[in-house]
């Protein structure tokens, strides 16, 4: 069938608005709205068939005249974004099933290949109207906000995309985990053991940074993505550990990073400090979490028995550069696959003694378990300092003093 015949077949289904009539041929010609295209088809058919021109009237059997309310939907969108900072947006539509089935039936019955879905027109036309009202632009790949139109309820739903910033943190106090841990007993619900906080530990690096940031961004929450993590009882010193902070559903998107850095450092009270370097994005989260880098530790080691400095130095030097075979440590076996990893200690240096403990600096490959390199973990790590000395040895305290841009979890 030609276009005139197809149009006649479509109109036999029932009252059809110009928008929907035009959409059934939406991919034909350029520079026309579907409404103009539909009206033009109606006129062309009247001329070709020598029939009176009849304007679209009544309620459209496809869309229920939804597309007559573009301006109303645009106003609803603008109102929903009134207190949200954004530069770009994207409109989506949850098309009611009956409307979707109606247009799909016509496509199938008449073998139409040039039709445009109702969703596409609704998204485009409301988007154009919103852009006119706000001066903001539509963005398809990475918008600041996504607005979902729900014709079934007449409501709009706003999804605010997160904001990311990159920095480094230093942790000067032991006993603080990197991220929030739910209470092991109540799993976050709150109980006597956790003083009804739902938390295993009172604070975390994530919370000490995120609380202040969430206030400034007016965000619903925050998620810290670290380049690896130090143990809870280890400090993170030196230039700090790279991290990206994700602000969840922020109503503000562009506070000044120097101001944010100052507020975080002030509120953390010397327990944690940050240096904020730049804005980031989700793509970099995957990079920072998956790539690897070396790290350097300063360790105080307790050794049972009496050994000379030369004996300790010699034992430490024998660990440098060799392949270390490490079966998953007992302390993390409950959350890690039980396997043997091969890593190297790139440099191992004896730095003297402090308060009766041996001071050691070790630079290791990503994934090297430092505590087990010292203790041997009951033979699960070989070689180890304890194994070479033939006595028990353990880490008394541990500081991470240098981390590359990316690393894996220790």
Residues 47 and 183 in one domain: no
- The answer on 110 and 66 residing in a single domain is yes
Question: 263 and 303, same structural domain?
Answer: no
Same domain for 264 and 180: yes
CA dist 118 and 20 (Å) reads 8
Please indicate, yes or no, whether residues 312 and 381 belong to a single structural domain of this protein. Answer: yes
Q: Which of 264, 290, 316 is the last residue in one of the domains?
A: 290
Residue 275's nearest CA partner among 169, 349, 175, 129 is: 169
| Residue numbers of the domain that contains 323 | 295-403
Say if 196 falls within a structural domain. Answer: yes
CA distance 364 to 296: 6
| Environment class of 223 (CB within 10 Å of its CB; exposed 0-12, middle 13-18, buried 19+) | middle
Question: Do 40 and 154 sit in the same domain of this protein?
Answer: yes
For the domain that residue 206 is a member of, what is the CATH number?
Answer: 3.30.70.2510
Statement to judge: residues 132 and 262 lie in one domain: no
332 domain-assigned: yes
384: domain CATH number? 3.30.70.3190
Per-residue pLDDT tens, the chain, 410 aa: give them. Answer: 899 999 999 999 999 999 999 999 999 888 899 999 999 999 999 999 888 888 888 899 999 999 999 999 999 999 999 999 999 999 999 999 999 999 999 999 999 999 999 999 999 999 999 999 999 999 999 999 999 999 999 999 999 999 999 999 999 999 999 998 888 888 888 888 888 888 887 899 999 999 999 999 999 999 999 998 898 999 999 999 999 999 999 999 999 999 999 999 999 999 999 999 999 999 999 888 876 788 899 999 999 999 999 999 999 999 999 999 999 999 888 878 889 999 999 999 999 999 889 999 999 998 899 999 999 999 999 999 999 999 999 999 999 999 875 433 34
Is residue 301 included in any domain, yes or no? yes
Establish if 409 belongs to a structural domain.
Answer: no
User: Active site residue: 18, 144, 231, 399, which one?
Assistant: 231
To which residue do tokens 């942790």 refer? Answer: 171
- Is residue 15 annotated as a catalytic residue, yes or no? no
Residues 154 and 225 in one domain: no
340 and 236 co-located in one domain:
no
Q: Which CATH number characterizes residue 22's domain? A: 3.30.2300.10
At residue 408, the pLDDT reads 39
Same domain, 152 and 26: yes
- The answer on 94 and 52 residing in a single domain is yes
Total of domains in the chain: 3
Q: What angle do CA 372, 376, 382 make, to 5 degrees?
A: 105
- Is 408 inside a domain boundary? no
């Amino acid at each position: 069938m030609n276009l005139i015949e197809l149009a006649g077949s479509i109109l036999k289904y029932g009252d059809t608005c110009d928008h929907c009539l035009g959409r059934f041929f939406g991919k034909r010609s350029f520079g026309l709205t579907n409404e103009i295209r539909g009206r033009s088809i109606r006129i062309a058919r009247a001329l070709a068939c020598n029939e009176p021109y009849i304007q679209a009237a009544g309620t459209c059997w496809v869309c229920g005249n939804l597309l007559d309310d573009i301006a109303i939907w645009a106003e609803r969108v603008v109102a929903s974004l009134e207190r949200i900072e954004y530069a770009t947006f994207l409109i989506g539509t949850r098309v009611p099933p009956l409307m979707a089935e109606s247009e799909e039936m016509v496509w199938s019955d008449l073998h139409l290949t040039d039709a445009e879905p109702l969703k596409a027109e609704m998204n485009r036309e409301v988007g154009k109207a919103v852009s006119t009202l706000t001066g903001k632009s539509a963005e398809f790949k990475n918008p600041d906000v996504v607005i979902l139109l729900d014709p079934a309820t007449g409501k709009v739903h706003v999804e605010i995309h997160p904001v990311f910033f990159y920095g480094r943190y230093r942790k000067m106090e032991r006993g603080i985990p990197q991220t929030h841990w739910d209470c092991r007993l109540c799993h976050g619900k709150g109980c006597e053991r956790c003083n009804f906080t739902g938390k295993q530990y009172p604070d975390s690096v994530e919370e000490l940074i995120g609380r202040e940031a969430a206030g400034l961004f007016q965000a619903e929450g925050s998620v810290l993505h670290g380049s690896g993590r130090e143990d809870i009882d280890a400090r993170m010193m030196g230039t700090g550990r790279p991290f990206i902070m994700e602000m969840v559903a922020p109503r503000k998107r562009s506070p000044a990073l120097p101001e944010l850095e100052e507020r975080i450092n002030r509120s953390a009270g010397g327990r944690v400090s940050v240096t904020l370097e730049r804005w980031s994005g989700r793509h970099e989260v995957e990079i920072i979490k998956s790539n690897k880098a070396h790290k350097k530790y300063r360790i105080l080691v307790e050794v049972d028995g009496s050994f000379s400095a030369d004996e300790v130095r010699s034992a430490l030097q024998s660990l440098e550069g060799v392949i270390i075979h490490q079966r998953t440590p007992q302390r993390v076996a409950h959350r890690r696959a039980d396997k043997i990893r091969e890593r190297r200690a790139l440099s191992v240096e004896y730095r003297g003694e402090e308060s009766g403990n041996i001071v050691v600096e070790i630079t290791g490959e990503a994934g090297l378990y430092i505590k087990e390199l010292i203790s041997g973990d009951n033979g699960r790590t070989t070689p180890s300092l304890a194994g070479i000395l033939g006595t028990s040895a353990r880490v008394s305290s541990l500081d991470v003093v240098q981390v590359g841009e990316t690393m894996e979890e220790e």
